[in-house]
């Protein structure tokens, strides 16, 4: 203090600082636009227009947010749940009704997959139908079954739903973030709609002259494509491995191996 007075300089006070700030604010150009009230709705003198708009926005927020939440909880969510539940029930009923006719068509395509219309059914038609089924019911199944698309174990609920709809019995024997394995231990169609695969020379030729058609292709080709297409729609990071163990081939079960294409570090490798 004494040094300042001795040098003849005036002491710099807080009032001087405020004066400088006010002077700077007056010199600073102001961008006038309709959104300026968000920055300073109340001025000296008060900006009543900005204050009014701020009040209206606040009032609308306080009114419509609770109203929207009530509508969502009481109307939208129940309606959405009812819609998806109905779609899942329709899908299960169709699957139950159409299972045997579809297997019959699939077997005909397997017997004659190298000629005529059956070649088209085998390569394009049947897979396109299965893809169309997933397109119609897949979204509802994801919602209804609460499928976590980041978890291969959760995506496997789709196959559980197919089994429950068609009367197939199975169980999960392995479950990991990178790999899950399901064994189908009993199928009502094997031995009837899907004949057992017999060793070469023990079957009579099929009507088209091809000996021993491999009817297990209905599962190893068509069923695998169906599940693989659903997996891809959920998360392309996962896939279904080719089927090797199958009941129609004399194995104890049909083995379905779900796996991550690139395993996470620390997880089990497929």
Please indicate whether residue 30 or residue 230 has the higher confidence score (pLDDT): 230
Cα–Cα distance between 228 and 239 in angstroms, integer? 6
> What does the pLDDT look like over 64-92, one tens digit per residue?
878 777 877 777 778 888 999 999 999 99
Residue 36 reports pLDDT greater than 80: no
For 250, left (φ over 0), alpha (ψ -120 to 50), or beta?
left
Residue 209 reports pLDDT greater than 60: no
Predicted pLDDT at 35: 53
Topology adopted by domain 98-260:
Muramoyl-pentapeptide Carboxypeptidase; domain 2 (3.30.1380)
Predicted pLDDT at 79: 82
Q: Binning pLDDT at 50, 70 and 90, where does residue 187 land?
A: very high
Residue 205 in 3-state DSSP? coil
Q: Which helix (H) or strand (E) holds 174?
A: strand 169-175
Predicted pLDDT at 28: 57
Residue 48 reports pLDDT greater than 60: yes
Predicted pLDDT at 204: 47
What are the φ and ψ backbone dihedral angles of 146, each rounded to 5 degrees?
55, 55
Q: Which helix (H) or strand (E) holds 181?
A: strand 179-186
Q: What is the mean pLDDT of residues 217-232?
A: 96
Please indicate whether residue 163 or residue 63 has the higher confidence score (pLDDT): 163
> What does the pLDDT look like over 93-141, one tens digit per residue?
999 999 999 999 999 999 999 889 999 999 999 999 999 999 999 999 9
Cα–Cα distance between 263 and 39 in angstroms, integer? 51
Cα–Cα distance between 181 and 232 in angstroms, integer? 17
Predicted pLDDT at 66: 81
Look over the chain and give the mean of its residue pLDDT values, rounded to a whole number. Answer: 83
Residue 166 reports pLDDT greater than 90: yes
Cα–Cα distance between 39 and 46 in angstroms, integer? 13
Domain ranges for the chain: 98-260
Q: Is the peptide bond before 251 cis (omega within 30 degrees of 0)?
A: no
Residue 180 in 3-state DSSP? strand
Q: Which residues contact 225 (CB under 8 A, 6 or more apart)?
A: 127, 130
Percent of the residues in the chain that have a pLDDT greater than 90, as a whole number: 56
Q: Binning pLDDT at 50, 70 and 90, where does residue 57 land?
A: confident
Residue 263 reports pLDDT greater than 80: no
Q: Which residues pair with 125 in a beta bridge?
A: none
Q: Please say whether the beta carbons of 240 and 229 come within 8 A.
A: no
Predicted pLDDT at 109: 95
Cα–Cα distance between 173 and 191 in angstroms, integer? 25
């Amino acid at each position: 203090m004494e040094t300042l007075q001795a040098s003849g300089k005036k002491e710099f006070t807080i009032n001087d600082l405020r004066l400088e700030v006010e002077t700077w604010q007056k010199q600073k150009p102001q961008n006038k636009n309709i959104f300026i009230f968000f920055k300073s709705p109340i001025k000296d003198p008060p900006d009543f227009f900005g204050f009014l708009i701020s009040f209206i926005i606040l009032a609308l927020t306080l009114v419509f947010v609770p109203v929207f939440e009530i509508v969502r909880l009481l109307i939208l969510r129940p309606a959405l749940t009812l819609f998806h539940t109905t779609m899942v029930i329709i899908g299960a009923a169709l699957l139950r009704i159409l299972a045997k006719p579809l297997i019959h068509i699939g077997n005909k395509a397997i017997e004659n997959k190298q000629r005529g219309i059956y070649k088209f059914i085998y390569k394009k038609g049947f897979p396109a139908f299965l893809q169309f089924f997933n397109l119609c019911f897949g979204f509802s199944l994801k919602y209804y079954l609460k499928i976590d698309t980041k978890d291969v174990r959760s995506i496997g609920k789709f196959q559980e739903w197919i089994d429950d709809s068609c009367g197939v019995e199975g169980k999960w024997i392995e479950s990991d973030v990178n790999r899950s394995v399901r064994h189908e231990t009993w199928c009502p169609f094997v031995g009837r709609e899907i004949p057992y695969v017999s060793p070469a020379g023990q079957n009579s030729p099929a009507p088209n002259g091809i000996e021993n058609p491999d009817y297990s292709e209905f599962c190893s080709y068509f069923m695998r494509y169906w599940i693989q297409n659903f997996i891809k729609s959920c998360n392309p990071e996962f896939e279904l491995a080719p089927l090797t163990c199958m009941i129609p081939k004399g194995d104890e079960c049909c083995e379905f191996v779900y796996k991550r294409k690139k395993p996470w570090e620390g997880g089990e490798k497929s």
